[in-house]
Amino acid sequence: MQIGKYKLENKLILAPMAGVTDRPFRGLCKRMGAAMVVSEMVGCESLLRGSKKTLRRACHAGEVAPKSVQIVGYCPTTMARAAKLNEDMGAQIIDINMGCPAKKVCKTLSGSALLRDEQLVAKILQAVVAAVDIPVTLKIRTGWCVNERNGVAIAKIAENSGILALSVHGRTRNCFFKGEAEYETIAQIKQSVAIPVIANGDINSPQKAKQVLEDTKADAIMIGRAAQGRPWLFREINYFLATGNLLAEPTNYELESILLEHVENLYDFYDEYAGVRMARKHVSWYSKGQHNGAVFRDYFNRLESADAQRAAIKNFFVELNQQSR
């Protein structure tokens, strides 16, 4: 699959997730086999105001190409300015968010709320594409609700506006993340446009990845929540698609190494205070399903320093290794 001049090494992309896909997590997923990773969504207005938090979300220094930054907003002019600013800061792909179902986003007529106004969709896409000299991609849902699935119409607007790739989550906005994703609409979208289409939603195993690729004929798949606490899912899927065999889960020793590397990068990227708090949710995901995981999470989430967190992780794995003997 190719986006502009960027040819992806495989069919796997990390989905943008607010509060999750920061630079440390993106780097880890890249190392674990994702061909492309997308930033947390960057609010256009707050970026242009110079918000420190938003500027950090858009930071991709030292990352491997292609560097994709997702922007969110509702005003074509503002989004075009924000896209240009991201390009000037080193972004290599601009991704436009028209898929976020969160109420606070839709209340501002951003995210998936835009799917109800196809004329505004066209204006935004055309403005952003015209503002930058780098590829622009788009992420959508299948529509606003089950009775308003206009994903095919939006896809055609995107293609005609110069969008170079389209990611589709197999739910409507009103579905949020409830129920099961449906892929029939994604298959219809793939048949309706010539640009690459990326399937997203409930892809949580190598077998499911293969099934979705076959059912939708999508050019690639995008993985989000399933990678939380399980970034090695990318290498498992790559291996299964290449060989038809399942790759062994990481050993406790490798899992400990991955987790310690992850939290160290969080401490470095944020300051210690914020890094400790960011580490809590990631460690909670890593420890789910582990022996005494709930007890460990309760203890870990009350720790206030990086040193205490490091020691807790090491002790947790000492106990895990003893339990597995």
**What are the residue numbers of the active site?**
100
Cis peptide before 196 (omega within 30 of 0): no
Which DSSP category does 203 fall into?
Answer: -
- Cross-strand bridge partners of residue 198: 167, 220
Count of helix runs (H) and strand runs (E) in the chain: 14, 11
Dihedral, CA of residue 233, residue 231, residue 289 and residue 283, to nearest 10: 180
Which DSSP category does 279 fall into?
Answer: H
Helix axes 272-287, 306-324, angle to 10 degrees: 20
The phi and psi torsions of 19 (rounded to 5 degrees) equal 80, 5
- Cross-strand bridge partners of residue 14: 37, 223
> Whose structure tokens read 């440390």?
24
| Element holding 253 (H helix, E strand) | helix 252-269
- Cross-strand bridge partners of residue 139: 97, 167
User: How far is the C-alpha of 309 from the C-alpha of 301, rounded, in Å?
Assistant: 9
Which DSSP category does 117 fall into?
Answer: -
Instruction: Answer whether 66's CB lies under 8 Å from 30's CB.
Output: no
User: How far is the C-alpha of 81 from the C-alpha of 88, rounded, in Å?
Assistant: 11
